[in-house]
Structure 1
Amino acid sequence: MSESQVASDEEALRLRALDALTAARSRTALLTTCVDDHELTAQHSPLMSPLVWDLAHIGNQEEQWLLRAVAGREAIRPEIDSVYDAFEHPRAERPMLPLLSPAESRAYASDVRGRVLEVLDQHPLCGGPLVDSGFAFGMIAQHEQQHDETMLITHQLRHGPAALDAPEPPLGGMAGLPSEVLVPAGPFTMGTSAEPWALDNERPAHRRELPAYFLDTAPVTNGAFLAFVDDGGYADERWWADGGWDQIRKHDIEAPLFWRREGGQWLRRRFGVTEPVPPEEPVLHVSWYEADAYARWAGRRLPTEAEWEKAARHDPVSGRSRRYPWGDGDPAPDRANLGQRHLRPAPAGAYPEGASPLGIRQLIGDVWEWTSSDFLPYPGFVAFPYREYSEVFFGSDYKVLRGGSFAVDQVACRGTFRNWDLPVRRQIFSGFRTARDA
């Protein structure tokens, strides 16, 4: 490769990294300027941090990785490292920490970002796995977007008038679409060894062999889930895994989180607005236990993680695994509901341009989809660049979610991207689709 081509490729990487960092910071600003300082410092749920903690944590992680680890610079504020260490302090305890004020947090994050842009402009994007292909910059952009999603969850949990707004998603509809699609038996390549900004748990690429199975064409809707509710699904122990039955009895759960029945109608609260539950939208804010119970009630099951990824990436014509259901091109507004472009899932059947080769819809965006799989490493997994991102969570305590949601930015969403959470979690933007053996 010529020197000019190398320079051109490196410039393209810098621009990609700059765009990703800039988009993340713009979203962070939106989520932290739409409410006053009292709302930023309050803890709206013991499940979540105060918004101001996330704001300074974003800056601290950026400083530690891009200024210290990549550029070798002196620490700006080493005394706050412990305060913003996510593993040292559980979320419920963070309001008691000596947190930076909103003004101090913004100034700190801004100072860090200014210095990071100098590093991005000057540092070679090669010479080691942390900087090759701009990995560290991509990792930090993904980290910030993941915290932006977390902050959006906090906005959903907060009470009071709406602070955010967004246009409605495009129309959908299942008319003319089959309810399920057959995914033929055979091998496919799972995971990736080539995606430059893929995180450690997505690696390495490896072959998997699966029998044939059927998968829902679209995520399970509110209307379909309501049939489970109306049939007494939450009161029937037959459908529930032991841990799930204990949870719904202990907490008197009778419907998805944020739903309530009023005057014979089901309503939901969504970012400060109360509205009728829309029957055509994918169901949202359900735990793994609720998804599993519905699937059993419907005579089906949750797909495995491998089944989900094969449906989302495998091209049966070429035999190769693609980056996304529609191909290798980046997500676009006509392909997937991502990036907080809308503040709700699109109706089931939307985004025909984003369908897989087999015609399966909405595998990327709209709602995170629970799978039946525990969060485990792939064969040949190597922790990088730190164990605490993935390795410490491996095991049977966590279930895998795939596909992203309307709250996820495209930089943190790929056909190989793996999310995980405890099976009791409901505040996250989670839904599901079901499968059955062929």
Structure 2
Amino acid sequence: MTPQTLAVAGVNTLPAATIKHAQDDNTLYPIGAIEGTVATIAFEGMEETTITLHWAIKGQAEPTFSPIEKEGSASGTVDIDVPWQWVGACIGHSVLIWYTATVGGQLKESVVLELTIEPLRNEDLKSSLPKFVHAEVIDFTVQLDMHRFTGDETVTMKAWPFIQAGQRLFVGVGGQDSEPPMPVIWLAYDHVVTVAEAKIDHVFEFKLPRGWLTRRLDRSRLSAESAVIFSGCVPVPPVPIPDPVSAVPLPENAHLFRPATSAMLRVEAQLSEFDDFETYPRKEFGGPGTVIDTNLLMFETVAGSDSYIGLHQVRGAGEHQEGMVEGRALTVHCGGGGSQLASMHFKYGCTRVRFGFSGTGAAAASFSFFDAHGTLLETQEITPPAWVESRIPEGDTIARIDIRTSSHGSIDSLTTWRIREPSPV
């Protein structure tokens, strides 16, 4: 049912409902109704009728709210509880509230109350703003210094007031380059909140790729911005403007969380990149001639050797090592047998390489580092589990690492470093 009367009471209309916590009967700040609100209805002759309360977002077909029924009272007044979920879904919107009842044998409809549910204020969203996990205050300035952490950056965001399943979340990070436009990376774009996430103590975690950070200007500003569509409706793209205040183009119909979270980025002199091998197709028991192509390297069996490699979920006693080797990983010595040889061919000359190595056996594995001319730079004997980190002479670069082992092993959490190319003048 839709309201037939918008403002003027007539012979067949009933008085408008009043809403608890509403200011001047037309505005509701949602935090006051964080546990729900109450619609109070009063008219004569209600004791023998059923009152049906209706609630709808003005000018919007979705979402819909099932009418609530309550029996009338001889007192002439009834209170109908309105759930907090309804209030939360309508944040930033005008809501039409009306009711129907049969009085004197005639179905009547109330005057429609138009109630504005205000956006949440900045002070009520402060704890739900995105945070750069490794950002620190250095020399009175919030800085994200890439020299102080390895791997990707993590951006966290605590659940916001009125979070519920079906809402849509947007989290983006804007950076700075030598020339516009400002680069943007989406950490969450139109992410639909799940039942498991819809808890007030839930913390969202997103990975901000190190490779993206290294391509930004040193001492430039990073800005993490976020927004939520509380109603769960499809996002409306923003209207392009010539000189945007925000680098992150958040949807027109999303509730923007302000202020944005900013940090000064300190970029390494060397370009570092990270790979945890989670995004590649599974490969098992790759025999002689097998090549596994990843972002940073080609993983191969050595020509003429009876060796087997793979890229799959870590398994077996001793192989899963929290924070070092977990999830998918490159694998050596697949399928058993004697000593086997595999090679990591890097796509760029690396000044430094670091990765985790774990294995099913206690025997040491041999890692030999070579330059682009095939010159041996160093050899390390590694007993798993352990981090493998190059120790080559300054000025040399690594083009290949040969791995020889007599038991199954896994390689994960790879970070490579190479000389950053000069920025164009």
Structure number with higher strand proportion = 2
TM-score normalised by structure 1 residue count: 0.21
TM-score (norm 2): 0.21
Higher Rg of the two aligned structures? 2
